[in-house]
Amino acid sequence: MDLRTSPDEQAFRAEARAWLEAAVAELPPKPPAEDWAARRAHDTTWQRTLHDAGYAGLDWPPEAGGRGATPGQHLIFLEEAERAGAPYVGVGFVGLLHAGPTIAAEGSTEQRARYLPPILRGEEVWCQGFSEPGAGSDLASLSTRAVLDGDHYVVNGQKIWTSFAQVADFCELLVRTDPAAPKHRGITWLILPMDTPGIEVRPLRTIGGSSEFSEVFLTDVRVPVANRVGDENDGWRVAMVTFSFERGTAFVGDLLGARRLHESLVETARASGAWEDGGIRRELGHLGADLDALWALTLRNVTQAERGSGVPGLGGSVFKLHYTQVRHRMGDLAMRLLGPDGLDLQDEHVRGWVYAMSMTIAAGTTQIQRNIIGERILGLPKEPA
């Protein structure tokens, strides 16, 4: 890994910066958080703008519809997008960061041709149907059942924490196709059209007042066998590919936002007079150093993926675990600095503190990440059953 930028990358940065400054200036105002139709239109319009300018799927291979940019170029673009205040992936995050890369890696030729271009153009939105009320951290215990009936699977069950289900066209769905097999070996990964009869979506309200998550109920839902990604009962392996993208690269934009939030927190400390406290300055310095180290780890993880199979490796779990801890520390410090203003959920630091709570669960719990690191990186014995 080389942390320096090449002349080509410097030229790419200048090109991207100029385009982003002009494009962001033309953006309409961000719609209200609970106007889901407007949010979908806003986010997908930006995605189409990226596509038409040649910036959609920068890190996707050309055969998947992407630009085939280097890891350095991809990260440079994300840096410049954050600097310009450009929208991130928004409601398109499951398709762009999870399902799309998984289909590019594991899907058939027909599936890649059918599903990847509309994701990149912002025409179709995806959600994730993995977690269940009784299968969160232990996802392999999922019980949503799919029974083969001719050329369709008939699906019955319930999913929860399904992001943006209320505006999604498709769902990456994990189902149990062999209940007699060991739990990791009887799972299948399906593409579920969300307009299929038998699907009921019920939005959930979070502690922050938002409703981006939903419960999804599936009753005799028929999914074509052609929508299976990978082999039947091989869905756990395919899901591990999805998780590697989720933990390895999907948090890149989030990390850039955290670095900006850290800069804002420094300004808050200066404005409030807390900067005079040596302990506060030390905490802020440590947080800044940790965020810089996480960015270096991101460069390493992306570079390793590029030199290997294209799929992020176990470094994603190291990143996810430490990033979670950093966000908690930063949120706690922000609440101390804000004092009574910490009751205002409209403040970006308060929202960041609330968001940090979810980080211990999202993309695999902290306990799961520690198990992965202990067993697969450090070679420690497996946790007793």
Residues acting as catalytic residues = 246
- Identify the helix (H) or strand (E) that includes residue 158: strand 152-159
The residue among 249, 260, 261 whose CA lies nearest residue 352 is 261
Q: Which residues on neighbouring strands pair with residue 191, listed in sequence order?
A: 172
- Identify the helix (H) or strand (E) that includes residue 180: none
DSSP assignment letter at 66:
S
Report CA-CA distances (Å) from 139 to 147, 235, 255, 282: 19, 12, 26, 40
Torsional sign, CA 81, 211, 99, 64: negative
Residue 326 in contact with residue 290, Cβ under 8 Å? yes
Q: How many residues does the chain have?
A: 385
Range list of H helices, the chain: 7-25, 36-52, 71-84, 93, 100-106, 109-121, 235-248, 252-272, 278-307, 315-338, 348-359, 366-372
- Name the one residue in this structure whose structure tokens are 């994730």: 128
- Identify the helix (H) or strand (E) that includes residue 29: none
Residue 256 is which amino acid?
L
Distance CA 40, CA 44 (A): 6
Q: Which residues on neighbouring strands pair with residue 51, listed in sequence order?
A: none
Distance CA 42, CA 29 (A): 9
- Cβ-based burial of 224 (10 A; exposed 0-12, middle 13-18, buried ≥19): middle
